[in-house]
Structure formats: structure tokens, C-alpha cells
């Protein structure tokens, strides 16, 4: 268990629930690690892997999950997500429950899925990386407001930067000629959903071996409104947004820009270089539902049909 204590109200209560649930399932007593501001989870995860664990539970927000991912990439140890933050982007994209009991049950059932991850300067993400407006929005959103009202706090942060000037960027995807745009934001995504369940990239899948790139170029409030309506209504193409796919993406801006990975700010810079690491992470997911036995159903229908025919004859 890798826990962010800042995200958990009752840490002792959490330990009691988790230890009891795992013991009831016949699992050994888990190792417990707490994150710190200096190490938000990667070091603790690497220590757990070295100790020989089979599963690492990431209990915290998106930053905790991302840090645990960086410690698990390329290993056979699975990640189980127990969301405690306000974004929970990986959980939202893969349909994982935010309920503690359900999260524990998913890991115990041993459903597994291999995911791609994106790599940025030795760090890894599962959802998306971005430069520009998206990172400005995160920077303008206070932790207090997020804790009080949840994901709508990001809308308030976004409103503060709608009129900011665009950046001049060059976007190079694989070995293709670079694209030059005046953009507000460039997102490199492994999955397609944003905060609030908004589907930005309809074709993005976490295990398809591709990165999906969205270049956003709104210039006026009307452009922003049209883009927002298209995304929320899910009708047709999104104005002022271009979408591309690749395995390597390099974004270079004319001036330093705020940058983010999986909803966590990283140091600003003029460059964001992303590569895909296919099938590099095991994730605990719900077991697929068993399909009904059609032969049994057909037999039951046949038997009932014969009964009805016999009843009709008697009548």
C-alpha cells in the first residue's frame, strides 16, 4: 500500500479496512508506505517491488498514481488504484470504481490488463501530458477549492486564462515534417477523457500502441464556447482542434510554458518530448462478465416451447 496521507482523512481506519479485507481473502499482511512531498510515491513503489510484492495499491490522487506507475513500468508487479483525489483520471477513463471496497475486490479477483504508458524525461504517465493552457488551468486551481467542490474547480481555474495569448509551437510526430501552429494547448494522450468525464479524444485507447495528439487553437471566447459545446454534446468534429497519432511526439514552443503529466504540474519548459512504451504496465481491472451459456438458454427455450405446444393440444 502506497498512501498519500494528505488525501486520506482517517489513515488508521483505512489500514483496518484494507488489512481486514485482504486477510479475509487469504492474502498476507500488506506492507505500508506513506508518500512525502519529496517523494510522492516512486521511491516507495520501487522499495515495495524490491521486497517482492505482487500488487502495489496506489491510494491517493492522480499524482500518487503517476508516481507509482513510474516505479512499476517494465515490471510484472500490478498496479491497483484506490482513488482518493478529485481528478482520478485513470480511474475515470478505465471505468474503475472510486469505492474503496470495490477497488480492493478488483485486485483480489486478479483481473489484469496491460497498458501502454507515455515516457517524458524518465517519468511516465498513463493519461496525458500537456503544454500550455491545460497546465495553466491546473496551476490556477487551488487545492482548497478542489477539496471543497471537486472537478468543477478546474472550470474556475480555466476561466482565468481564456484570454491569454497563444504560443507559437512546432509539433513533430514520428519522422513527419513538423507542424507549426499558434496554439493555446497541445495534449499528448494515452486515453481520451478529461476532468468531468469530457471525452476529448474518441479513438484514444490505453493499449493500442499509439499516442493521440490534440492541438487546440481557439483565439476568442466564441471559439472556446464552440469547442466546449462540441465536446459536451459529443456531436461531430470539434472546432479549433486538430488530432494526430504517433509513437513519438516533440513539442517546441517559442517561450517557456507550463507543463503537466497526468494532472500534476512539472517544471515549465520550451520543450515536451513524449514516447510511447507499449504494454509496459499491468493494471488491476474488473474481471469480464461471463457470457451466458447460449446452449443452455436454447435448451430451456426449447423445453418451454414443447410445454406450451402440449398445453395447447390438451386445450
CATH number for the domain spanning 215: value is 2.60.200.40
175 in the same domain as 113: no
Residue 304 belongs to some domain of the structure:
no
Where do runs of H (alpha helix) occur along 25-132? 42-50, 62-72, 89-94, 100-109
Q: How many CA atoms lie within 13 A of 147 on its CB side?
A: 8
Residues 266 and 134 in one domain: yes
**Mean predicted confidence (pLDDT) in 184-202:** 89
- For residue 13, is it within any domain? yes
Q: Which domain holds residue 237?
A: 125-276
In a domain, 292, yes or no: no
Higher pLDDT, 128 or 61: 128
Q: Are residues 241 and 176 in the same domain?
A: yes
**Same domain flag for 18 and 110:** yes
Pick from 99, 5, 90: nearest CA to 264 = 90
92 and 140 belong to one structural domain? no
Exposure of 241 in the CB half-sphere (CA atoms within 13 A): 24
Residue 190 domain-assigned? yes
Give yes or no: residues 238 and 187 share one domain: yes
Q: How confident is the model at residue 87 (pLDDT cuts 50, 70, 90)?
A: low
Tell me whether residue 310 is in a domain.
no
Look up the CATH number of the domain holding residue 21: 3.40.50.10330
Please give the pLDDT value at position 70. Answer: 95
134-182 pLDDT per residue, tens = 999 988 877 677 667 766 777 777 888 888 899 999 999 999 999 999 9
Q: Which of 118, 135, 157 marks a domain boundary?
A: 118
Q: Are residues 108 and 130 in the same domain?
A: no
69, part of any domain: yes
100 and 146 assigned to the same domain: no
pLDDT in tens, 286-304: 987 654 444 444 344 344 4
Q: Kindly state whether residues 267 and 210 are assigned to the same domain.
A: yes
Domain termination residue (choose one: 118, 138, 172) = 118
List, in order, residues 6 or more apart from 40 with CB less than 8 Å away: 4, 63, 64, 67
Q: Is the pLDDT assigned to residue 305 strictly greater than 60?
A: no
**Residue 74: which H helix or E strand, with range?**
none
Are the CB atoms for 169 and 153 separated by under 8 Å? no
Q: Does 76 lie in the same domain as 57?
A: yes
For residue 299, being part of any structural domain is answered with no
Same domain, 34 and 138: no
Domain count, the chain: 2
pLDDT for res 152: 72
CB 231 within 8 A of CB 217: no
Which pLDDT band holds residue 113 (cuts at 50, 70, 90)? Answer: very high
Residues 138 and 252 placed together within one structural domain of the fold: yes
Amino acid at each position: 500500500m502506497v498512501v498519500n496521507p494528505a488525501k486520506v482523512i482517517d489513515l488508521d481506519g483505512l489500514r483496518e479496512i484494507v488489512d481486514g479485507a485482504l486477510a479475509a481473502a487469504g492474502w498476507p499482511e500488506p506492507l505500508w508506505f506513506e508518500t512525502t512531498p519529496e517523494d510522492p510515491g516512486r521511491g516507495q513503489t520501487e522499495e515495495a517491488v524490491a521486497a517482492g510484492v505482487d500488487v502495489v495499491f496506489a491510494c491517493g490522487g492522480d499524482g500518487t498514481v503517476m508516481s507509482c506507475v513510474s516505479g512499476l513500468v517494465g515490471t510484472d508487479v500490478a498496479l491497483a488504484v484506490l482513488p482518493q483525489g478529485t481528478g482520478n483520471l485513470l480511474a475515470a477513463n478505465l471505468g474503475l470504481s472510486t469505492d474503496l471496497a470495490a477497488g480492493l475486490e478488483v485486485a483480489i479477483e486478479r483481473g489484469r490488463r496491460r497498458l501502454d504508458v507515455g515516457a517524458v524525461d524518465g517519468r511516465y504517465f498513463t493519461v496525458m501530458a500537456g503544454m500550455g493552457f491545460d497546465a495553466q488551468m491546473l496551476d490556477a486551481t487551488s487545492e482548497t477549492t478542489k477539496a471543497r467542490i471537486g472537478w468543477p474547480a478546474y472550470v474556475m481555474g480555466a476561466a482565468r486564462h481564456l484570454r491569454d495569448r497563444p504560443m507559437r509551437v512546432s509539433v513533430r510526430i514520428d519522422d513527419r515534417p513538423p507542424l507549426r501552429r499558434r496554439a493555446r494547448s497541445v495534449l499528448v494522450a494515452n486515453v481520451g477523457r478529461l476532468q468531468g468525464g469530457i471525452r476529448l479524444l474518441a479513438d484514444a485507447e490505453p493499449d493500442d500502441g499509439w499516442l493521440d495528439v490534440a492541438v487546440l487553437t481557439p483565439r476568442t471566447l466564441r471559439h472556446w464556447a464552440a469547442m466546449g459545446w462540441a465536446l459536451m454534446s459529443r456531436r461531430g468534429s470539434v472546432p479549433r482542434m486538430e488530432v494526430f497519432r504517433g509513437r513519438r511526439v516533440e513539442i517546441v514552443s517559442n517561450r517557456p510554458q507550463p507543463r503537466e503529466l497526468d494532472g500534476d504540474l512539472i517544471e515549465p519548459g520550451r520543450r515536451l518530448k513524449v514516447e510511447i512504451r507499449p504494454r509496459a504496465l499491468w493494471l488491476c481491472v474488473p474481471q469480464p462478465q461471463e457470457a451466458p451459456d447460449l446452449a443452455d438458454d436454447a435448451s430451456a427455450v426449447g423445453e418451454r416451447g414443447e410445454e406450451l405446444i402440449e398445453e395447447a393440444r390438451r386445450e
